Amino acid sequence: MERIDKVFKIVFPGKDLTVDEGTTPDEVEGWDSLQHINLLSLLEDEFGIQFDVEQIVSMETVGDIARAVRDLI
Q: pLDDT value at position 71?
A: 92
The answer to whether 58 and 64 are in contact (CB under 8 A) is yes
Read off the pLDDT of residues 13-70 as tens digits, 9 standing for 90 and up.
876 888 899 999 998 889 998 999 999 999 999 999 999 999 998 999 999 999 999 9
Predicted model pTM: 0.87
| All domains of the chain in start order, with CATH | 2-72 (1.10.1200.10)
